[in-house]
Amino acid sequence: MDAGASCGAYDFMNSLTQILSIAAFNLRSIPARWGAAVAAAVGIAGVVAVLTGVLAIASGFRKAMTVSGTPDTAIVLRTGADSEMTSGLSREEVRLISDAPGVLRTPEGGVVSAELFVIIDLLKRSTNSSSNVPLRGVGPAAFSVRGNIEVVQGRRFESGKNELMVGAGAARAFTGLEVGNRLKIGQNQWDVVGIFTAGGGIAESEIWTDAAVLQPAYNRPEGFQSVYARLDSAEAFTEFKDALTSNPQLKVKVARLSDHYAAQSEGTFLFIARAGVFIAVMMSLGALFGALNTMYSAVSARTREIATLRALGFGAAPVIVSVLVESLALALVGGGVGAALAWLAFDGYQAATMNFQTFSQVTFAFAVTPILLATAIATAAVLGLIGGFFPAIRAARMPIASALREV
């Protein structure tokens, strides 16, 4: 090894040793400044907790929408419709869709469900105010099409009867949906006979009944709004879609159910996410000032110590890095506490919000995901580094002679 390389290696090891020495000293001295240190950590913990909590709303809403469809399930709507509410399909169109290639078939026929989607008003338990709830009329194959419907109380509705099955989320959020209750919807009386789950999907926000019963109740004896189809496989989607969109007798658009619900959730998801980021940014400013104040105070309290280290040969770079390490440590502690609190308080918390595509309530559970926690911790680290940067520069630039004379 030549002399230049040996000198470079020595300088590197010397700088690393200095950084570790000063950083260890700074961290050991934190208890002597516990008040300011706790204030900075708590500020960052608050930012992380709020950011995680709000983004958990968006994450939970998106999860409720996207788990509702598998790759081998498709939805068919009228061309130009942006939701089921604005779609319309005739019985003949439903027959053509049911006979299309790619549809899974059983001895009973194609596994498709022609459905109606209407909105009714019910009282929310939390506010005792009315809100929109989806009432869906489904075909006999609806349970096979979805594949994840599980009755957890009562039973399924019977065909031809004014009976309702209620999604578990709707049952939690709205009054009068207990099994055994009777509701007046329109001019008819309906009996609640069961409560079901759907793997946490959007169907849990809905009320289901027989489409053949719902049609005359809403004066739609010949019409449906959508067709849900279970396909032979995920790969059969292209064949199914091409057969329908190329048929001159049909004017329809076809999408995988998972893609349809993802598109339906986009507006609400972005609104919640952007609101969460805005709130977190506003809080971050306060936490950042707190971190700056803490680190400036720490540097001022150790003016003579830092100057002594510089006089003994410690470089400016190790001083800067050591201050950043201290600030980062406080931020990570605060971020870890905030993330843990957010996970304990919000993960799985049941809530409801408006789906702007259908103007009806969607019930869902907050989802504090590992990615969300990692994002929150990374945000705390960034705040810590920014909060420590300027105090670190000040510490490195202090004139050694004047600093040594300070009391």
For the cut 90, the answer to whether the pLDDT of residue 27 exceeds it is no
pLDDT confidence of residue 387: 78
pLDDT at 376 over 70: yes
- Do 84 and 60 belong together in one domain? no
> Does residue 71 surpass a pLDDT of 90?
no
Q: Is the pLDDT of residue 407 over 50?
A: no
The answer to whether residues 286 and 244 belong to one domain is: no
Q: Are residues 124 and 241 both part of a single domain?
A: yes
Q: Using the 8-state DSSP alphabet, how is residue 30 labeled?
A: G
Average of per-residue pLDDT across 143-149 = 89
Sign of CA dihedral 137, 143, 146, 152: positive
Q: Please tell me whether residues 331 and 224 are part of one structural domain.
A: no
Task: Report the pLDDT value the prediction gives residue 314, as an integer from 0 to 100.
Answer: 67
- Is 11 part of any domain? no
Task: Quote the pLDDT of residue 22.
Answer: 61
User: What value does the mean pLDDT take over residues 222-234?
Assistant: 91
Residue 274's contacts (CB-CB under 8 Å, 6 or more residues apart) are none
pTM: 0.74
The answer to whether position 2 is within a domain reads: no
Which has more confidence, 268 or 6? 268
pLDDT per residue as tens digits for the range 148-187: 899 999 999 999 999 999 999 999 989 989 999 999 887 7
pLDDT score at 255: 93
**Is residue 6 in some structural domain?**
no
The pLDDT confidence band at residue 10, using thresholds 50, 70 and 90, is very low
Residue 257 located in a structural domain: no
Percent of the chain's residues with pLDDT above 90: 33
Structural domain contains residue 9: no
Which run of H or of E encompasses 167?
strand 163-167
Query: Among the three residues 250, 276, 300, which one is the final residue of a domain in this structure?
Result: 250
pLDDT at 280 over 60: yes
Under the banding of pLDDT at 50, 70 and 90, the label for residue 208 is very high
Please state the domain count of the chain: 2
Percentage of residues in the chain with pLDDT exceeding 70?
79
Same domain, yes or no: 277 and 384: yes
Question: 85 with 222, same domain?
Answer: yes
272 with 399, same domain? Answer: yes
Q: In the predicted model, is pLDDT for residue 2 greater than 70? A: no
Distance separating alpha carbons of residues 191 and 183, to the nearest angstrom:
6
Higher pLDDT, 347 or 398: 347
Tell whether 27 and 105 lie within a shared domain: no
Instruction: Place 298 in a pLDDT band, splitting at 50, 70 and 90.
Output: low
Question: Using 50, 70 and 90 to split pLDDT, how confident is the model at 21?
Answer: low
For residue 297, being part of any structural domain is answered with: yes
Mean pLDDT of 378-388: 84
The answer to whether position 319 is within a domain reads: yes
Q: Domain range for residue 194?
A: 80-250
Query: Domain boundary residue among 190, 222, 250?
Result: 250
For the stretch 369-389, what's the b/e string if a residue is b when 16 or more beta carbons lie within 10 angstroms of its beta carbon? Answer: beebbebbbebbbebbbbbbb
Residue 7 lies in a domain: no
Q: Does residue 231 or residue 219 have the better pLDDT?
A: 231
Strands (E), 1-149: 73-78, 89-90, 105-106, 109-110, 112-123, 130-138
Looking at the structure, do residues 183 and 159 belong to the same domain, yes or no? yes
Is pLDDT larger for residue 256 or for residue 267?
Answer: 256
Residue 85 makes CB contacts below 8 A (sequence gap 6+) with 117, 119, 225, 358
Residue ranges of the alpha helices (H) in 76-210? 91-98, 142-146, 168-173
Domain stops at, among 216, 250, 284: 250
Number of C-beta neighbours around residue 122 at 10 A = 20
Residues 232 and 272 in one domain: no
Assign 211 a pLDDT band (cuts: 50, 70, 90).
Answer: very high
88/130 same-domain check: yes
Domain shared by 157 and 238, yes or no: yes
**Nearest alpha carbon to residue 112 among 92, 88, 138:** 138
Q: Which residue has the higher pLDDT, 367 or 21?
A: 367
Q: Specify the higher pLDDT residue, 20 or 169.
A: 169
- Contact assessment for residue 391 and residue 328, using Cβ atoms and an 8 Å cutoff: no
Lowest mean pLDDT, pick from 34-43, 99-108, 291-300, 327-336? 291-300
Across 199-224, average pLDDT: 88
